[in-house]
Amino acid sequence: MSRFRLYDLNPEQQRAATHETGPLLILAGAGTGKTRTIVARITWLVSTGTPASKILAVTFTNKAAREMKERIAGMLTEEQAADITASTFHALCMRILRADADKLGYKNNFTIFDEGDQLGLIKKVINRVTAKDEKLDPGLAKNLISKAKNNGWAPPQDDETVIGAVYSRYNRELHALNAMDFDDLLVQAVKLLNDHPSVREKWRSRFSQMLVDEFQDTNRLQLDLVSLLASGEPPNICVVGDDDQSIYGWRGAEVSNILEFEKHFPNPEVVRLEQNYRSTNQILTAANRLIKNNPRRRAKNLWSPNQGGDPVHVVAVPDDKREAEFVIGEAGAIRNAGGLPWEHFAIIYRMNAQSRLLEENLRRMRIPYRLVGGKSFFDRREVKDILATITCLVNPQDDISLLRIINTPPRGIGATSVEIALEQSAKIHRSLFDTLTDPAFEPEVSRKTAAAIRSFAEDLAATRIHLLTPGADACAIVSGYLEESGYFDDLKRSCKTPEEALNRESGAKEILNALANHQSKRRGSVQDFLDELSLNREREEDKKDDSKGVTLITLHAAKGLEFPHVFLIGAEDGLLPHERSKSEGTVDEERRLFYVGITRAMKSLTITHCRNRMKFGSAMHCRPSPFLKEIEGEGVHAESHEDIMSKPAAEEDVAMSFANLRAMLSAE
DNA sequence: CAGATGTTTATTTTT
DNA sequence: TAAACATCTG
């Protein structure tokens, strides 16, 4: 009987990987080999007799699920790896619901509303429910509804409050459209499992071991789902997380899920991973000093056997412009001195707006960079337009998409006509499209408008027939339609700079390419294409993480990543912690955010703060972040921009030009 | 109806 | 600053 090979796990990791049955809580500090441990555990489970098909691993992002699958694939046979279920919460719920949603009164082919669709429907409902000048911000309503769903609050029976009325009306409309929003996927899956023992048993017996990654980010519904699915007595549930990295409280994540894990799953084995394999001790010390100021946490102390390394630099700079210049200059110096690739550097900030100055500088200096996050690709106007067009072609009954494209490009169907049609459609309980194409509607609008509507509907219908013909080239048909309808011309015309036009064009191309790809590679229908996009909104470009250059990224998006050299900019009071967090009493979460930022760094960390910063177009005076006081101490050096600039960079220059030369030679 | 011009507002965003 | 949105004018 050969002993299980434990790779190079440390004793704690080993204990976690080889835990047999019952609840297991792995408190995995930043950089402590969390993924390695999960993967080792899955491998161990399989090698000790758990059928691979009975293992369920749940993550938050598609990326995490994909990476987990990849790493498992390296450890097991192809067949075993393929048998393991590694999926996001939402995709798992989708699977559960696709099989049995009819038991909840949905059709099993329900559609998924993404945030855009959701907002569109909410706007519509607000118009319907509230009086003309009773304004309710749709974005706010969306957040409140989401919060309500995640807290398990049913819509009120009466329509006493405006928001209550909007909530219940919104839910009814969604249901009538046979649609679910992201929150519904969880709400309804939990409901299904709760109310239907047969379904519950089916899924509980499907899996015998369950693992949940990033448990500190789970919300109440996700905890419910986990409780419902975890099988065994006591349940075989393994959760991995770090309460110190809980930064999604504003999204409904409940740190209490991990803080009070014992309450939900009694007598768990608790394993603490505290040995850090990522950062120098100097960086870890700073991180530890900071995070211990948080109350309500599971005390941890990250340590690393490797002493030494550069001190953490805290640099005061005059303003945001010079901050950008400074960090890029420093990155360049480190790069040249060590002959390093730009991929080793990341600049991390609190708000997306901060990336602008950095981008300008990087572009001017011809330094490659990749911007992570920001406004999603799918929020770009041209992408939304094109997706709405495709949706309408597949399903003209989709009012939200129809509204988006009905007068884009301008085709003579203006707001007033649309308003009339909307009212009419509510009255006769039919879709907007059906209302518009009903001969009875014609007298409601001017002759000219009626003709415009007829022409629009005819074009749409004709294209739809082409598109739904088996074997049709969907991409060509959609492009053709967009061209002929004048959409591309309109798009180009609306751009102020040629640069923007080029940008929009590439966005349009990208989404159309994705459609072509989907068709040729997976031979899927156009409907499949839309479905998949709503659950898996990643760009091909993001999937392969090999895009070169300096990484520009927000603190939130940086969680889970690491970089040899990190610059954390804008460490100012009001920005980090954000002004708003102070009024909302969530400064602890800001501290965790700062902690996440610090712990991304492997070799060097430079933190900057400005004395003045442009905010909303005017210069504002800034005080350093109070968090900087908390990390003060041995291994953390505070300097000012002036000190550094007046110091001659003597020997480094020589090394620099040398390294420069070498880098240039090896690059070509 | 369409295009132009003024007004308001301002985190973070896994699905 | 800039982008989304409301309001005005031809």
Please determine, for residue A661, whether its predicted confidence score (pLDDT) is greater than 60. Answer: no
Give the span between the Cα atoms of A391 and A406, in whole angstroms: 12
Q: Average pLDDT of A620-649?
A: 87
Whether nucleic acid strand C comes within 7 Å of the CB of A135, the answer is no
**Residue A467: its pLDDT value, please?**
87
| Residues A170 and A154 sit within 8 Å (Cβ to Cβ) | no
Catalytic residue among A34, A54, A272, A559: A34
Q: How confident is the model at residue A606 (pLDDT cuts 50, 70, 90)?
A: very high
From the CA of A120 to the C1' of C1: give the distance in Å.
28
Q: How confident is the model at residue A418 (pLDDT cuts 50, 70, 90)?
A: confident
Listed as ranges, the nucleotides of chain C within 7 A of a protein C-beta are 1-2, 4
Whether nucleic acid strand C comes within 7 Å of the CB of A616, the answer is yes
Q: Average pLDDT of A576-583?
A: 90
| Residues A310 and A604 sit within 8 Å (Cβ to Cβ) | yes
Give the span between the Cα atoms of A288 and A300, in whole angstroms: 8
Give the span between the Cα atoms of A538 and A169, in whole angstroms: 32
Please determine, for residue A591, whether its predicted confidence score (pLDDT) is greater than 60. Answer: yes
Per-position DSSP letters for A192-218, written without gaps between them: HHHH-HHHHHHHHHH-SEEEESSGGG-
Q: Residue A347 belongs to what H/E stretch? A: strand A345-349
Rounded alpha-carbon distances, angstroms, from residue A265 to A193, A227, A257, A392: 19, 9, 10, 47
Lowest mean pLDDT among A226-240, A316-330, A457-471: A457-471
| Residues A588 and A626 sit within 8 Å (Cβ to Cβ) | no
**Residue A602: its pLDDT value, please?**
95
* Percent of chain A's residues with pLDDT above 70: 93
Please determine, for residue A407, whether its predicted confidence score (pLDDT) is greater than 80. Answer: yes
Q: Annotated catalytic, A213?
A: yes
Give the span between the Cα atoms of A599 and A454, in whole angstroms: 60
Q: How big is the CA angle at A109 (ends A106 and A115), to the nearest 5 degrees?
A: 85
Please determine, for residue A19, whether its predicted confidence score (pLDDT) is greater than 50. Answer: yes
For A21, the token pair is 């049955």
Give the span between the Cα atoms of A357 and A321, in whole angstroms: 7
Q: Average pLDDT of A336-354?
A: 94
Q: Annotated catalytic, A399?
A: no
Helix/strand/coil for A537? coil
From the CA of A460 to the C1' of B3: give the distance in Å.
26
How buried is residue A144: exposed, middle or buried, by Cβ count under 10 Å (0-12/13-18/19+)?
middle
Q: Average pLDDT of A346-350?
A: 96
For A431, the token pair is 């879709």
From the CA of A169 to the C1' of C4: give the distance in Å.
26
Residue-wise pLDDT for A499-510, tens only, equals 777 778 888 888
Whether nucleic acid strand C comes within 7 Å of the CB of A356, the answer is yes
Residue tagged 């948080």 (tokens): A294
Residue-wise pLDDT for A364-387, tens only, equals 898 999 988 777 777 788 888 888
Rounded alpha-carbon distances, angstroms, from residue A665 to A573, A587, A658: 44, 49, 11
Q: How confident is the model at residue A224 (pLDDT cuts 50, 70, 90)?
A: very high
Residue-wise pLDDT for A163-180, tens only, equals 788 888 889 888 988 899
Please determine, for residue A642, whether its predicted confidence score (pLDDT) is greater than 70. Answer: yes
Q: Annotated catalytic, A430?
A: no
Q: How confident is the model at residue A260 (pLDDT cuts 50, 70, 90)?
A: very high
Catalytic residue among A12, A184, A214, A242: A214
Catalytic residue among A100, A117, A213, A244: A213
**Interaxial angle between packed helices A89-100 and A526-535, expressed in degrees from 0 to 180 and rounded to the nearest 10:** 130
Residue tagged 């751009």 (tokens): A495
For A282, the token pair is 């100097």
pTM of the model: 0.87
**How many CA atoms does the CB half-sphere of A384 hold within 13 Å?**
18
Nucleotide nearest to A375 (CA to C1'): B13
CB atoms within 10 A of CB A227: 14
Please determine, for residue A571, whether its predicted confidence score (pLDDT) is greater than 90. Answer: yes
**Residue A249: its pLDDT value, please?**
92
Q: Average pLDDT of A50-77?
A: 92
Q: How confident is the model at residue A627 (pLDDT cuts 50, 70, 90)?
A: very high
Biggest CA–CA distance in chain A, Å, is 86
Q: Average pLDDT of A189-209?
A: 95
Nucleotide nearest to A589 (CA to C1'): B12
Catalytic residue among A32, A37, A43, A245: A245
Q: How confident is the model at residue A11 (pLDDT cuts 50, 70, 90)?
A: very high
Higher pLDDT, A351 or A503: A351
In the predicted model, what is the mean pLDDT of chain A? 87
| Residues A281 and A308 sit within 8 Å (Cβ to Cβ) | yes
Give the span between the Cα atoms of A633 and A604, in whole angstroms: 17
Q: Annotated catalytic, A600?
A: yes
Residue A9 makes CB contacts below 8 A (sequence gap 6+) with A17, A33, A36, A37, A40
Q: How confident is the model at residue A3 (pLDDT cuts 50, 70, 90)?
A: very low
Residue-wise pLDDT for A481-524, tens only, equals 998 888 888 888 777 777 777 778 888 888 888 888 888 876 67
User: Using the 8-state DSSP alphabet, how is residue A74 labeled?
Assistant: T
From the CA of A383 to the C1' of C10: give the distance in Å.
32
**DSSP H helical ranges for A395-497:** 399-405, 415-428, 432-437, 447-468, 474-484, 487-493
Please name which of A345, A381, A407, A347 lies closest in space to residue A552, comparing C-alpha atoms.
Answer: A347
Per-position DSSP letters for A212-238, written without gaps between them: ESSGGG--HHHHHHHHHH--TTTT-EE
Residue-wise pLDDT for A98-148, tens only, equals 999 999 999 888 888 888 778 878 877 877 776 655 667 788 888 888 888
Residue-wise pLDDT for A522-551, tens only, equals 667 888 888 778 777 776 655 555 568 999
